[in-house]
């Protein structure tokens, strides 16, 4: 727990010192907020969860662009603060490709940017640890943000046995620095 707090504080302190909003080029990171849920009662109760944290995407590669993230996950509907969990992992953007079909709905030039990921969920009371594999097929990248709709996750325990699944309803990763 203290490690998680220290880690998050360090990330946040780094963000606070950054040249945010376009002063550093290309963007290197920011923070994310996501709504998600899990079907694994050994990890979390059945609830809508909110996760928030920081991410780093140090490169701006057009394909296989890696990013890492770390944050906190909390069941909020219903609210259950005792189930607070640490969430961290890595994400690999497979490619960025122009999405002119999105131009019909949004005037920003967006790109389709699907990703695969792997990570970890750790209950801060020490009661559960899960490893995750994730796919985000419907992921849209704007200049200053990456939005994910309907991502999927598979959950595994420390022995590698499948324990359940999760779904990301919406994730907004907003670049800050």
Query: Which lies closer to other proteins via its Cβ, residue 123 or residue 163?
Result: 123
> Shortest gap between Cβ of 118 and other proteins (angstroms)?
23
Query: Which lies closer to other proteins via its Cβ, residue 113 or residue 132?
Result: 113
Question: What is the binding site for other proteins (CB under 8 A)?
Answer: 1-2, 4-5, 8-9, 12-13, 15-23, 25-27, 31, 33, 52-53, 72, 74, 81-82, 84, 96, 98, 103, 107-111, 124-125, 141-145, 147, 172, 174-177
- The DSSP 8-state label assigned to residue 13 in this structure reads H
> Shortest gap between Cβ of 133 and other proteins (angstroms)?
25
In terms of C-beta distances under 8 Å and separation of at least 24 residues, what long-range contacts does 14-22 make, across chains too? 14/54, 14/177, 15/54, 15/176, 15/177, 18/176, 18/177, 19/177, 20/176, 20/177, 21/176, 22/144
Closest CA to 142 of 41, 47, 18, 30: 30
> Shortest gap between Cβ of 174 and other proteins (angstroms)?
5
């Amino acid at each position: 727990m203290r490690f998680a707090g220290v880690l998050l504080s360090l990330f946040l302190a780094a963000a606070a010192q950054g040249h945010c909003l376009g002063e550093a080029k290309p963007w290197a990171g920011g923070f994310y907020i996501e709504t998600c849920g899990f079907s694994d009662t050994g990890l979390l109760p059945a609830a809508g969860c909110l996760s928030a944290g920081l991410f780093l995407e140090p490169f701006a590669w057009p394909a296989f662009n890696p990013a890492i993230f770390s944050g906190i996950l909390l069941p909020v509907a219903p609210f259950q603060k005792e189930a607070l969990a640490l969430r961290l992992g890595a994400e690999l953007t497979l490619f960025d490709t122009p999405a002119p079909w999105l131009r019909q709905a949004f005037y920003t030039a967006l790109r389709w940017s699907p990703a695969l990921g792997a990570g970890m969920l750790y209950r801060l009371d020490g009661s559960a640890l899960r490893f995750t594999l994730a796919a985000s097929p419907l992921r849209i990248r704007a200049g200053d943000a990456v939005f994910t709709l309907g991502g999927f996750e598979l959950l595994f325990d420390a022995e590698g046995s499948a324990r359940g699944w999760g779904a990301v309803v919406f994730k907004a990763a907003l670049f800050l620095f």
